[in-house]
Amino acid sequence: MTLEEKQKEIIDEFAVYDDWMDKYEYIIELGKDLPIIDEALKTNDRIIEGCQSKVWLDSKFEDGVMKFTADSDAIIAKGIIGLLIRVLNNEKPESIATCDLHFINEIGLQEHLSPTRANGLASMVQKMKLSALKAISN
């Protein structure tokens, strides 16, 4: 599945919810299901401090693709991280660096990725893209 197809798939999954609470119920379930980051990787250099919640992100470049694991102390943030990882994991760094994550807007979660939201998610996306760029330049 291409990065674009994965975004489309998520948009379709969310299309069935017309109530905000149902949408969030789903995000929370995703957050609960997310394989959390290896505790040993929850180090200070992997932390993204938000004003409200913390995010840990680990990125690797392996076999020509990027591998991400992440976690957050807030479960809604974790659910959204799950969606971002689903879209970006195992993708070529070139695709990650240039992609437009439009699905976030289309499923109505843009507020969480606003830099002013201060939950660490906007910085997380930025870090994912930067690590992809680093993989390209290496």
Partner 1 sequence: MIDQELKVSLGVDSIRDDFPALHQEVYGRKLIYFDNGATAQKPQTVIDSINHYYSKENANIHRGVHFLSQQATDKYEQARRTIQSYINAPREEEIIFTKGTTDGINLVAFAFGETLHEGDEIIISAMEHHSNIVPWQMVCERKGCQLKVIPINEKGELKMEAFKELISERTRLVSITHVSNTLGTINPVKEIIEIAHKNGAKVLLDGAQSIQHMKVDMQELDCDFYAFSGHKVFGPTGVGVLYGKKEILDSMPPYQGGGDMIEKVTFEKTTYNVLPFKFEAGTPNIAGGICLAKSFEYLEKLDITLVEQYERHLVEYAEEKLLKIPGMRIIGTADNKTSVVSFVIEGLHPFDIGTLLDKQGIAVRTGHHCTQPIMEEFGIPGTVRASFAFYNTTEEIDTFIQALERSINMLQ
Q: In angstroms, how far is the first alpha carbon of the chain from the final one?
A: 26
- Give the x/- contact pattern for partner 1 in 41-60, rule: CB under 8 A: ----------xxxx------
Do the beta carbons of residue 86 and residue 66 sit within 8 Å? no
- Known catalytic residue at 99: no
C-alpha 34/C-alpha 55 separation (Å) is: 14
Task: Say which residues have a Cβ less than 8 Å from residue 137's Cβ, sequence separation at least 6.
Answer: none
Q: How far is the CB of 23 from partner 1 (least distance, A)?
A: 8
Q: Could you tell me the sign of the dihedral formed by the alpha carbons of 12, 18, 24, 28, in that order?
A: negative
Q: Is 119 in the site for partner 1 (CB under 8 A)?
A: yes
Q: How far is the CB of 71 from partner 1 (least distance, A)?
A: 12
Q: What is the total count of residues that contact partner 1 (CB under 8 A)? A: 15
Q: Is 25 in the site for partner 1 (CB under 8 A)?
A: yes
Binding site for partner 1 (CB under 8 A): 20-21, 24-25, 28, 51-54, 73-77, 119
